[in-house]
C-alpha cells in the first residue's frame, strides 16, 4: 500500500503532528528530517518542509520521489483574510493560487505562473473524506472553503491585504507561505492533495504578528488532530 505523506512547514506544526502520531521513528535524508509511523497497515510519512515556497517544493519533490505516496496532506496554520473569520477557524481550500506572481503583461492571469493553470485544485475525494470526519465530530470547528493564497511574505499590512483582495475579487479565504508550492508540485506530478489550515490570525482583530506567535501552537494542534481523524478514515 502506498504511504500517505503529511507535510507541515514549521517545528510547532510538525511537533503537533508527532504528538498525535506518537509511535514513530526518525531519520534524515538529504538534510531533510522525516518521521515514519503507521495507522493500522497504512504507512505514514511526516516531514517538516521549512517555511516558504522553495523549501516546500524541495521537500515535497524529495518525498514524492522517495515514497510515491497515494496522497499528500498539508496541515498547519494560516492567516485569515475574510471579515467575520475567527482565530482557530479552519480553512479547507478547494483551490490554491499564488498571490505574488504577476506576469500579466505576457497575457497570463494575475497569480498564474507560465506553463501552469491560474489555480490548482485540491482532491475532491479527500474533501469527501474530510467532510465525513467533520460531520462525525461532536463540536466541529467553523470551516471556510474557497481559495487559498500563497506567497513568500507574511501578510500583515493593509496595503498587502487590499492588493490581494483587489487582484482576486476578495475570494481569498486565507494566506500562507507553502500551499502554492505544495499544490503546484502535487499537480505537476499527478498526486492528490489536500490542505488543512487553522487560522492563527485574522484581519481587523489585533496585531497579526502577535496573534500569529500566540495562537500558532493552538492552530497547529487543531489541524493535527483533524488530520489524525482524516488519516484514520482513509486508512
What positions carry a catalytic annotation?
13, 201
User: Which grid coordinates belong to 179?
Assistant: 500551499
Contacts of 215 (CB under 8 A, 6+ apart): 77, 87, 88, 199, 200, 201
Contacts of 82 (CB under 8 A, 6+ apart): 144, 170, 173, 203
User: Which grid coordinates belong to 180?
Assistant: 502554492
Quick one: how many helices (H) and strands (E) in the chain? Answer: 6, 10
Contact 149, 172 (CB under 8 A): yes
What is the widest separation between alpha-carbon atoms in the chain?
A: 52
Contact 134, 140 (CB under 8 A): yes
Q: Give the integer Cα–Cα distance in Å for 173 and 84.
A: 11
Amino acid at each position: 500500500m502506498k504511504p500517505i505523506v503529511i507535510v507541515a512547514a514549521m517545528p510547532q506544526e510538525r511537533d503537533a503532528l508527532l504528538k498525535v502520531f506518537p509511535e514513530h521513528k526518525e531519520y534524515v535524508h538529504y538534510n531533510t528530517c522525516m518521521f515514519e509511523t503507521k495507522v493500522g497497515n497504512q504507512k505514514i510519512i511526516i516531514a517538516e518542509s521549512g517555511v516558504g515556497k522553495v523549501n516546500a517544493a524541495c521537500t515535497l519533490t524529495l518525498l514524492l520521489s522517495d515514497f510515491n505516496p497515494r496522497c499528500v496532506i498539508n496541515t498547519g496554520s494560516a492567516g485569515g483574510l475574510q471579515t467575520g473569520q475567527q482565530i482557530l477557524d479552519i480553512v479547507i481550500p478547494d483551490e490554491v493560487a499564488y498571490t505574488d506572481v504577476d506576469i500579466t503583461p505576457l497575457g497570463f492571469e494575475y497569480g498564474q505562473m507560465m506553463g501552469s493553470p491560474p489555480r490548482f485544485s485540491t482532491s475532491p475525494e479527500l474533501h469527501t473524506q474530510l467532510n465525513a470526519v467533520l460531520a462525525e465530530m461532536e463540536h466541529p470547528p467553523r470551516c471556510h472553503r474557497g481559495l487559498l493564497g500563497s506567497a513568500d511574505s507574511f501578510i500583515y499590512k493593509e496595503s498587502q491585504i487590499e492588493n490581494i483582495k483587489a487582484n482576486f475579487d476578495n475570494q481569498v479565504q486565507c494566506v500562507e507561505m507553502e500551499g502554492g508550492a505544495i499544490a503546484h508540485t502535487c499537480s505537476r506530478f499527478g498526486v492528490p492533495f489536500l490542505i488543512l489550515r487553522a487560522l492563527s490570525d485574522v484581519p481587523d482583530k489585533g496585531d497579526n504578528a502577535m496573534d500569529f506567535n500566540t495562537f500558532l501552537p493552538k492552530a497547529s494542534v487543531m489541524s493535527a488532530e483533524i488530520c489524525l481523524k482524516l488519516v484514520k478514515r482513509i486508512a
